[in-house]
Chains A and B, each alone.
Chain A
Amino acid sequence: MAEFLNERRMSLAIALALLAVPLMAEWLGNSFYTTLATRAAILALAGVGLNIALGSGGLISLGHAAFFGIGGYAVGIIASHHQAYEPLMTWPLTIAATNQMPVLWLVAILASGLAALMIGALSLRTSGVYFIMITLAFAQMIYYFAVSWPAYGGQDGLSIYVRDGFPGLNTLRPLDFFLLCYAVLMVVLALVRMISGARFGAMLEAVRQNPARVAALGLSPFRIRLVAFVLSGMVTGLAGALYADLNRFVSPSMLSWHMSGEIMVFVILGGAGRLFGPVAGACIYVLFEHVFGGVSDYWQFFLGALLLGVVLFARGGLIGLAAGRARHD
């Protein structure tokens, strides 16, 4: 029980630290760090999404950039119509473009969820290294599609001239936008925690540990994994939507396999299967990028060294290192 409390305390500390940085920054009048913290929160959310598949479900997806990018492009495409005062479509019915985040998020979640349903339905028939390769292949297909789609920027990407809005907030102010992203992250974490404690979470955990046993109990491991994969894609897609508005820019790089690798690094660095693992991982990633990125162009060398250390000596990631093994009562 002590270890469990310890993980909770650690999660709380990470959550408070991520909140404290931009508040301090704003107080000191330097909103650069606010933007940095926003980036960390959004990347953390992408990792929280992957963690549902990878950590809880044991599904090693190297294609989550697909969902991140689809979420981003959903926002970018709608914004490009909105800023040109064009409707999204005119036939069979006219749908006007919007710049309201709640609507954009919903579109991003549905689009990435649909993509995850299709990719998952095909790739979850395989396992192990084949699953890794097939998820990678699907993401690369979408990447090349985006590169060669001139209507929406092709290789150059799409700019969003004015950040989309949220009712009651001025999203152009860095702190407002940070607080919005932070709130989304916390709400999603609360939902993930709820789901993993519920029947679905128990089944998913059991499927990861022993799929043959779950099948013998009468539930299809495939269906449980597919639902997890879709939820996972939706969360990462939502993160992509926020990321588009953070940078006010989307490009095929959001869909590239580098991005998939980065999201996986957040999860593994922080602790796969741990609620706050991806949050810790993304924060450290952004911190390294900022600190060592200023020192050397090869800052990823330091990150690589850290990742190597974690993989070799702390299988539960940094959360596991500090809080011990995950407990299941």
Chain B
Amino acid sequence: MTEPVLSLSGVTRSFGALKVSDAVDLDLRAGEIHALIGPNGAGKSTLIKLISGEIEPDAGRIRFAGRDLQGLDQAARARLGLARTFQVSSLIPDFSVRRNVMLAVQAREGSGFGFVRQVSGDSRLGDAAMTALGRVGLQDRAQVPAAELSHGERRLLEIAMALALRPRAFLMDEPMAGLGSEGSGALIGFLDSLRGEAPILLVEHDMDAVFALADRISVLVGGRVIAHGSPDDIRADADVRAAYLGEE
């Protein structure tokens, strides 16, 4: 069996006395969507931060694309091909939608340090950005400042920026949050088609989306993975029902 794209083993992190991640084992294989679910405060976002490098684990290892990520900062992990979308949209508010994506294209090319060639006339950056925007259906909003987008459009722009990075894996923290049922329906269809491009570790509260998309599901409660399996297994799991699904 080939090595998973991303694997966590024994990842532990405490804030004071509180263990927010407790010996988490998790992996993400090529071509799949692996959903991470759990009640509020279960440590899902912490886990995303641990993987992306925003915080460091106290113990445990994280491997990605055949490398140990220990000691690599966020930027280095992103360059390895980890594309993250944020729970609360994180954009460059004064930049137009197109410029936001152009920044991602520029980052993918690893060039923050061009001093001569003007960005506005760089059709290669612009075209790549428009391609990514076209895929999420934001091409008509390309010239609008990101600050003026609706909530749903911001979520889509986040995804367009992640696409423009052409990553090896996506880390998506609640991409459906705050989308109407129509919006999330469209996004489910899109993410479904995305798994062939790169696997997705999906943190999501929307159970319709999770059960429609996930190849595998891990359930996180109190920082521990209490169950792991196919959507059917999880639906049938008594512990999960008691700890989590029952509350819904």
Residues on A lying within 8 angstroms of B by beta carbon are 194-195, 197-203, 205-206, 209-210, 212-221, 223-224, 227, 326, 328-329
Chain B nearest Cβ from A214, distance in angstroms: 8
Q: A202-B102, A205-B95, A214-B103 are in contact. List 16 more A-B contacts (CB 8 A).
A: A194-B115, A197-B119, A198-B114, A198-B116, A199-B117, A202-B106, A203-B112, A203-B113, A210-B90, A210-B93, A212-B90, A213-B90, A218-B108, A224-B112, A328-B95, A328-B145
Asked whether any CB of chain A lies closer than 8 Å to the CB of B239, the reply is no
Chain A nearest Cβ from B243, distance in angstroms: 31
Determine if A329 and B113 form an interchain contact, defined as CB atoms under 8 angstroms apart.
no
- Checking B52, B116, B119 against A202 with a beta-carbon cut-off of 8 angstroms, the contacting residue is B119
Asked whether any CB of chain A lies closer than 8 Å to the CB of B104, the reply is yes
| B residues in contact with A329, CB < 8 Å | 96, 99, 120, 143
A197→B75 CA distance, assembly (Å): 23
Determine if B120 and A213 form an interchain contact, defined as CB atoms under 8 angstroms apart.
no
Residues on B lying within 8 angstroms of A by beta carbon are 52, 54, 73-76, 78-79, 83-84, 86, 90-96, 99, 102-104, 106-108, 110-120, 143, 145, 161, 165
| B residues in contact with A328, CB < 8 Å | 94-96, 99, 145
Determine if A218 and B117 form an interchain contact, defined as CB atoms under 8 angstroms apart.
no
Pairs across A and B, CB under 8 Å, 12 listed: A194-B115, A200-B112, A202-B119, A209-B92, A215-B78, A216-B86, A217-B78, A217-B107, A217-B108, A224-B112, A326-B94, A329-B99
Determine if A215 and B118 form an interchain contact, defined as CB atoms under 8 angstroms apart.
no
Determine if A227 and B74 form an interchain contact, defined as CB atoms under 8 angstroms apart.
no
| B residues in contact with A216, CB < 8 Å | 52, 74, 78, 83-84, 86, 90
A217→B110 CA distance, assembly (Å): 10
- Nearest first, the 10 closest Cβ-Cβ pairs linking A and B are A218-B78, A199-B114, A217-B107, A218-B79, A215-B74, A203-B112, A220-B75, A219-B112, A197-B118, A213-B90
Determine if B92 and A206 form an interchain contact, defined as CB atoms under 8 angstroms apart.
yes
Determine if A215 and B75 form an interchain contact, defined as CB atoms under 8 angstroms apart.
yes
A67→B32 CA distance, assembly (Å): 54
Determine if A198 and B107 form an interchain contact, defined as CB atoms under 8 angstroms apart.
no
A227→B75 CA distance, assembly (Å): 17
| B residues in contact with A210, CB < 8 Å | 90-93
Residue of B76, B96, B106 with most chain A CB atoms under a 10 A cut-off: B106
| A residues in contact with B94, CB < 8 Å | 205, 209, 326, 328
| A residues in contact with B111, CB < 8 Å | 199
A170→B64 CA distance, assembly (Å): 65
Chain B nearest Cβ from A127, distance in angstroms: 16
Determine if A203 and B90 form an interchain contact, defined as CB atoms under 8 angstroms apart.
no
Determine if B112 and A215 form an interchain contact, defined as CB atoms under 8 angstroms apart.
no
- Closest partner residue, chain A, to B103 (CB atom): A206
Determine if A218 and B107 form an interchain contact, defined as CB atoms under 8 angstroms apart.
yes
A210→B92 CA distance, assembly (Å): 6
Chain B nearest Cβ from A271, distance in angstroms: 15
Chain A nearest Cβ from B56, distance in angstroms: 14
A216→B90 CA distance, assembly (Å): 10
| B residues in contact with A220, CB < 8 Å | 73, 75
